[in-house]
């Protein structure tokens, strides 16, 4: 078999066809003389059927859309590579994890789950983190999320869960939101979702950036080494920049200001050369320890706490190239849990098993038939040889006379030989529709999550429950959820019940174990790639600003000058170019702000609002020169994370590196 047109054929064609690379043609290669006017019988007459260019152009346009993904419709992709730190041959025979000299190409697609393709990025939702490794042994897809657990334990519940969280069927409201009756009705009746719901109500569900987001394989998988010995494995992606989130109020404003906030952030970072990096870590559990935990390793609503089984970093991934065409690559990429390479294998996790069916099935519809692995972004790097044939959109011209095995006509080729071998796991049991009793406990890890949160994280979780349940119409559903919260933690149940005006349910006794790794407070920070606005006006001390800006930029920050009008700002002696004019900029699109003027800006409402809003959202605020006058005008209630005085450079950089000041008193600052 051979590709439809190889390089030689193309050369022959090129020799024959006069090359004018600017000339437009139809899909059949026929030159087009006019693409602005349809063919008519008279200049004011009807359009003619014989206008093949018109018909082809409109037909192609009419067919531009393919069905969006049933879930994870909204996504953003990037290319890069993965490289192992050391050989993992003792546990897996996967070549890309054993040979440190191999740079395995990857394509990653980040996504939200519930919203349609055109929905806003910064909604409260779990994020997809799907990685396609183009390994020397074929494609390996690690199709994960940014939470380590899931809502349900068995794949057969997935349509129920998705129908519950998606917009309600009668009016298709609300878009990309879980704050509605059907979702919370499902939750109250399906308590296995409680652990995941805790993650969803935390700020983990509103990431600052795809570059600042952990990823998890969720299920327990298997590594298998060359001698067939298996080890349980959980996969984790750890971002180099740490894990950081937005705050809810900010999210609501970003949705209007920049619905593409996370997509743009990823795109711009890569264009700028600030390549996102993630470390791949594994938790390894010997098969002999399968039953050493107080939960079932096959239950996808449970984590293995890092304190119990530490993470072992095994390699890093760098995303260094944006796709050339969103549709061709990010939209047409087809992930499938069943794309797996020798050395990695599945377990009997019933959620994982359900997924093994769903992904291939969904691609057949979405990408219009069985030949989607021939689409460039889905193609493995190594040669594909088999007897699979025909079907819609076949791009290969198979020349062989045989498409069966065994055969003698083609010398027995292609022949199955030393390839992927499934781990030989002994399985026995009664054929039964039932879950193992080891899947029955639903609250312990939800409690562990709550116990491990910093005070500010707990406050945000309570506020999220109040927002979500505050949008639920049916009182019985709210009461049902609050009852489950009492089994998670009485403090949580009490705070939510009070906010909803419901009786506080009797609280049981809960454990006080913690897993410090679960708190975002434990995450590393940094100045690199943080977006800082410098508010200036004519008369600002330009040299002072320039020095601060250069220092922050040398640490990788992105500083933008914001001023009352476009052009330049400063004075006659020195000036700086204005990146954004005040009324076209908003604090929610930045990580921190420096007030560099107060003489002019203190009298301007939008400038004062900028400072007040940054304060409410916990952002570092600095002031230089007359900028303190602007802070005075904004009447901030305290100075936590507000950096003033002589030479703020070092202290302000430290404040930016710490991400947010969540313990501010925001009660007196108007929203
Ligand atoms: Fe998916 N999921 N899923 N999922 N999932 C899809 O595949 C499904 C689950 C995840 O960027 C679909 O190509 C079932 C867990 C990501 O293209 C579909 C079940 C996790 C993406 C599908 C799950 C995920 C998908 C929709 C329960 C985290 C986006 C379109 C058994 C570990 C991939 C598509 C991309 C996409 C089915 C549960 C992650 C319908 C049946 C758990 C990141 O096949």
pLDDT in tens, 472-516: 999 999 999 999 999 999 999 999 999 999 999 987 799 999 999
Element containing residue 447 per DSSP (H, E):
helix 444-451
pLDDT of residue 4: 46
CA distance 126 to 144: 10
pLDDT-derived band at 18, boundaries 50, 70, 90: low
Domain residues of the chain, as ranges?
Answer: 45-378, 445-518, 531-657
pLDDT averaged over the chain? 95
Contact status, residue 586 vs residue 610, Cβ threshold 8 Å: yes
Q: What is the mean pLDDT of residues 522-533?
A: 93
pLDDT of residue 13: 61
pLDDT of residue 338: 96
> Does the beta carbon of 75 lie inside 6 Å of ligand 1?
yes
CA distance 589 to 262: 11
Give per-residue pLDDT as tens, 627-659: 999 999 999 999 999 999 989 999 999 999 999
- Whether the per-residue pLDDT at 3 is higher than 50: the answer is no
DSSP symbol at 242: -
- Give the CATH H-level superfamily of domain 45-378: Catalase core domain (2.40.180.10)
Give per-residue pLDDT as tens, 38-93: 999 999 999 999 999 999 999 999 999 999 999 999 999 999 999 999 999 999 99
Separation in Å, CA 5 to CA 1, 367, 377, 397: 12, 22, 18, 9
Q: What is the mean pLDDT of residues 308-314?
A: 98
> Does the beta carbon of 351 lie inside 6 Å of ligand 1?
yes
Ligand 1: residue of 73, 109, 128, 139 to mutate (most ligand atoms within 8 A of CB) is: 128
The CATH number of domain 445-518 is 1.20.1370.20:
yes
Give per-residue pLDDT as tens, 409-426: 999 999 999 899 999 999
Cis check for the bond before 437: say yes or no (omega within 30 of 0).
Answer: no
Q: Which atom of ligand 1 is nearest to the CA of 218?
A: 32
> Does the beta carbon of 358 lie inside 6 Å of ligand 1?
yes
Q: What is the mean pLDDT of residues 454-477?
A: 98
How far does the centroid of ligand 1 lie from the alpha carbon of residue 461, in Å? Answer: 26
CATH class (in words) of the domain with range 531-657: alpha beta
CA distance 620 to 592: 5
pLDDT of residue 2: 44
Q: Which atom of ligand 1 is nearest to the CA of 77?
A: 11
Q: Which of 357, 402, 393, 387 is nearest to 374 (CA)?
A: 393
CB atoms within 10 A of CB 219: 24
CA distance 507 to 572: 69
Give per-residue pLDDT as tens, 109-124: 999 999 999 999 999 9
> Does the beta carbon of 218 lie inside 6 Å of ligand 1?
yes
- Whether the per-residue pLDDT at 284 is higher than 80: the answer is yes
How far does the centroid of ligand 1 lie from the alpha carbon of residue 88, in Å? Answer: 28
Backbone angle region of 400, left / alpha / beta, with phi > 0 → left and psi within -120 to 50 → alpha: beta
pLDDT-derived band at 15, boundaries 50, 70, 90: low
Give per-residue pLDDT as tens, 327-357: 999 999 999 999 999 999 999 999 999 999 9
pLDDT of residue 667: 79
CA distance 81 to 5: 28
| Catalytically active residues, by annotation | 72, 145
State residue 187 phi and psi, 5-degree precision: -60, -45
> Does the beta carbon of 143 lie inside 6 Å of ligand 1?
yes
pLDDT of residue 14: 57
Which residue's CA is the nearest one to ligand 1's atom 3?
355
Which residue's CA is the nearest one to ligand 1's atom 7?
359
Give per-residue pLDDT as tens, 552-590: 999 999 999 999 999 999 987 889 999 999 999 999 999
pLDDT of residue 500: 98
Give per-residue pLDDT as tens, 121-164: 999 999 999 999 999 999 999 999 999 999 999 999 999 999 99
Spell out the residues 6+ positions from residue 552 whose beta carbon is closer than 8 angstroms to its own. 527, 532, 559, 649, 652, 653, 656
Q: For the whole model, what pTM was predicted?
A: 0.95
Ligand 1: residue of 336, 359, 367, 372 to mutate (most ligand atoms within 8 A of CB) is: 359
pLDDT of residue 341: 98
Q: Which atom of ligand 1 is nearest to the CA of 359?
A: 44
How far does the centroid of ligand 1 lie from the alpha carbon of residue 331, in Å? Answer: 14
How far does the centroid of ligand 1 lie from the alpha carbon of residue 311, in Å? Answer: 25
How far does the centroid of ligand 1 lie from the alpha carbon of residue 513, in Å? Answer: 32
Burial of 10 (0-12, 13-18, 19+ CB in 10 A): exposed
Q: Which of 214, 244, 207, 236 is nearest to 304 (CA)?
A: 236
pLDDT of residue 572: 77
Could you give the residue ranges of the DSSP H alpha helices within 558-634? 605-616, 627-634
Q: What is the mean pLDDT of residues 249-276?
A: 97
């Amino acid at each position: 078999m051979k590709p439809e047109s190889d390089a030689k054929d193309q050369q022959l064609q090129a020799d024959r066809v006069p090359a004018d690379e600017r000339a437009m043609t139809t899909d059949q290669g026929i030159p087009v003389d006019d693409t602005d006017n349809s063919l008519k019988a008279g200049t004011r007459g009807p359009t003619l059927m014989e206008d093949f260019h018109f018909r082809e152009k409109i037909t192609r346009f009419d067919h531009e859309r393919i069905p969006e993904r049933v879930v994870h419709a909204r996504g953003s992709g990037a290319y890069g590579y993965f490289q192992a730190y050391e050989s993992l041959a003792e546990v897996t025979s996967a070549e890309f994890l054993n040979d440190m000299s191999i740079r395995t190409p990857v394509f990653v697609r980040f996504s939200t789950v519930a919203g349609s393709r055109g929905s806003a990025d910064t909604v409260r939702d779990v994020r997809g983190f799907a990685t396609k490794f183009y390994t020397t042994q074929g494609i390996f897809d690690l199709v994960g999320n940014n939470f380590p657990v899931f809502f349900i334990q068995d794949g057969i519940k997935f349509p129920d869960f998705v129908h519950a969280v998606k917009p309600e069927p009668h009016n298709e409201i609300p878009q990309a939101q879980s704050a509605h009756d059907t979702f919370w009705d499902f939750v109250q009746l399906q308590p296995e979702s409680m652990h995941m719901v805790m993650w969803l109500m935390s700020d983990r569900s509103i990431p600052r950036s795809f570059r600042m987001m952990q990823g998890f394989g969720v299920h327990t998988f298997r590594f298998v080494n060359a001698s067939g010995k298996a080890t349980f494995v959980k996969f984790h992606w750890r971002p180099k920049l740490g894990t950081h989130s937005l705050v809810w109020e900010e999210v609501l404003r970003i949705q209007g200001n920049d619905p593409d906030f996370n997509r743009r952030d990823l795109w711009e970072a890569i264009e700028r050369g600030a390549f996102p990096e993630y470390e791949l870590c594994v938790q390894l559990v010997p098969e002999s320890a399968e039953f050493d935990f107080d939960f079932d390793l096959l239950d996808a609503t449970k984590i293995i706490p890092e304190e119990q089984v530490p993470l072992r970093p095994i390699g890093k991934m760098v995303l260094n190239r944006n796709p050339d065409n969103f549709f061709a690559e990010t939209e047409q990429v087809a992930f499938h849990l069943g794309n797996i390479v020798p050395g990695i294998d599945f377990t009997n996790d019933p959620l994982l098993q359900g997924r093994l069916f769903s992904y291939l099935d969904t691609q057949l519809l979405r990408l219009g038939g069985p030949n989607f692995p021939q689409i460039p972004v889905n193609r493995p790097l190594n040669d594909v040889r088999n007897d699979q044939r025909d079907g819609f959109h076949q791009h290969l011209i198979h020349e062989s006379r045989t498409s069966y095995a065994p055969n003698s006509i083609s010398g027995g080729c292609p022949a199955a030989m030393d390839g992927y071998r499934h781990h030989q796991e002994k399985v026995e049991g009664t054929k039964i529709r039932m879950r193992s009793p080891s899947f029955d406990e639903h609250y312990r890890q939800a409690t562990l999550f709550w116990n491990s949160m910093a005070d500010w994280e707990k406050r945000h979780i309570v506020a999220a429950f109040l927002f979500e349940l505050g949008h639920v119409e049916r009182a019985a559903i709210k009461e049902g959820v609050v009852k489950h919260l009492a089994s998670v933690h009485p403090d949580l149940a009490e705070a939510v019940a009070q906010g909803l005006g419901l009786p506080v349910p009797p609280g049981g006794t809960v454990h006080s174990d913690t897993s410090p790794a679960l708190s975002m407070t434990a995450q590393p920070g940094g100045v690199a790639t943080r977006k800082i606005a410098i508010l200036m006006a004519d008369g600002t001390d330009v040299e002072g600003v320039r020095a601060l800006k250069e220092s922050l930029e040398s640490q990788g920050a992105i500083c933008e000058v914001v001023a009352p009008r476009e052009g330049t700002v400063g004075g006659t002696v020195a000036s700086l170019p204005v990146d954004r004019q005040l009324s076209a900029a908003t604090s929610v699109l930045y990580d921190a702000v420096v007030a560099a003027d107060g003489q002019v800006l203190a009298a301007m409402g939008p400038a004062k609002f900028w400072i007040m809003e940054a304060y409410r959202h916990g952002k570092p605020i600095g002031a230089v020169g007359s900028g303190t006058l602007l802070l005075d005008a904004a009447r901030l209630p305290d100075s936590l994370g507000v950096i003033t005085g002589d030479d703020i450079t070092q202290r302000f950089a430290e404040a930016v590196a710490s991400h947010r000041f969540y313990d501010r008193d925001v009660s007196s600052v108007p929203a």
